Amino acid sequence: MSLEIPGLPPTLTRPAAQSPRFAPRKGGGDKSPANHSFSSPPSPLAGEGLGMGGFSLWQLIREDITCVFQRDPAARSRWEVATLYPGIHAVILQRIAHSLWKRDWRYFPRFISYFARFWTNIDIHPGAKIGRRFFIDHGACVVIGETAEIGDDVTLYHGVTLGGVSWNKGKRHPTLGNRVVVGAGAKILGPIELGNDVRVGSNSVVVKNIPAGKTVVGIPGKIVQNKVARNDNPEGIDLNHHLIPDPVAGAIQCLLDRIRLLEEAAGTRGCLPEQEDDSAECNHCDARDLCDDELPNTPITEHPIHFKKSGD
């Protein structure tokens, strides 16, 4: 039996059994579009297959809202999070835009992204792939590029950029693993990969691959810690990104220690002339009780720290 529609050629008619309302379903309740006998795609906002990993769009949004309570102690209610958190608004709009982007819609997803940027000051390209329980804290000035990929349970703070370093249309943005925490103002650039449980310090610039479980700080980013210390967070996410070693302070301290050792060794060998006790006239300091205002007027041969030549 066929449905004959006046004015249409026979090739555009279809049997009544293939109508979406009467098409049989396998398994008695499988609503997958693949089991329908028609080829028209489902509505992009129908809630079927809009998520990732078998999760619907609405399930992902609920998880995005729920995860805030484990990462922001200021959150008090779901209603407050859903209505007053710009990071949540940006993620929700991006998930809707991304679901349309996967169906080869281009203008409308970009319009949603533009509106989200205007509303939240967060710029996420609709082509970016974002995992479950994604949280942007504060959110201002966050930028996520088109080919960026973000794993599950990732946390970004304000001012973070996941940017590209090439004009090529291929993969040009970073990939973040699961449970990654990126501090405020950090920049992760290029098609690099950050493994699971990586922590990026505030204002760092990362331009190379980082193995799992590492901590990165500085410009350019350097690994300063081999293992990420765990806390009591039930999600297993270490949010103590402020407890990160300072490599610059460590290097300065190393130089000071070396200077102290050299001075002690020089004094032991008797290479330094004995000085009169001027403690009553000069304040003690870390420079071996030397007054800076006297150094320029001291002849080089009589300089307090002038080493004697061998044989003198």
Determine the Cα–Cα distance for residues 264 and 277; give it in Å rounded to an integer. Answer: 18
Within 10 A of 166 (CB to CB), how many other CB atoms are there? Answer: 12
Q: Phi, psi at residue 153, to the nearest 5°?
A: 60, 35
Q: Which of 128, 143, 147 has its CA nearest to residue 182? A: 143
Domain residue extents for the chain: 57-248
- Buried/exposed 117-143: b ≥16 CB within 10 Å, e otherwise: beebebbbbbbbebbbbbbbbbbeebb
205-206: strand order across its sheet: 122-124, 142-144, 161-163, 187-189, 205-206
pLDDT surpassing 70 at residue 103: yes
What homologous superfamily is domain 57-248 in, according to CATH?
Hexapeptide repeat proteins (2.160.10.10)
Contact present, 197 and 228 (Cβ < 8 Å): yes
Which residue's entry shows tokens 């009544």?
16
Q: Which is higher by pLDDT, 9 or 186?
A: 186
Contact present, 164 and 173 (Cβ < 8 Å): yes
Contact present, 91 and 68 (Cβ < 8 Å): no
pLDDT surpassing 60 at residue 237: no
Cα angle 242, 186, 95 (rounded to 5 degrees) comes to: 105
| Confidence band of 263 (pLDDT split at 50, 70, 90) | confident
Q: Which of 193, 70, 214 has its CA nearest to residue 133? A: 70
**pTM for the whole thing?**
0.57
Q: Which of 162, 157, 160 has its CA nearest to residue 175? A: 162
Q: At what angle do helices 57-66 and 86-101 cross, to 10 degrees?
A: 160
Q: Which amino acid is at 251?
A: A
Give the E-state strand segments of 42-171 in sequence order: 122-124, 129-130, 135-136, 142-144, 149-150, 155-156, 161-163
- For 44-99, what is each residue's pLDDT tens digit? 333 333 345 567 788 888 888 888 888 888 888 889 888 989 889 999 999 999 98
Mean pLDDT, the chain, as a whole number?
A: 72
- What pLDDT does residue 245 have? 61
- Contacts of 101-109 with CB under 8 Å at 24 or more apart are 101/126, 101/127, 103/41, 103/44, 105/44
Helices (H), 130-175: none
Contact present, 184 and 203 (Cβ < 8 Å): yes
| Confidence band of 8 (pLDDT split at 50, 70, 90) | very low
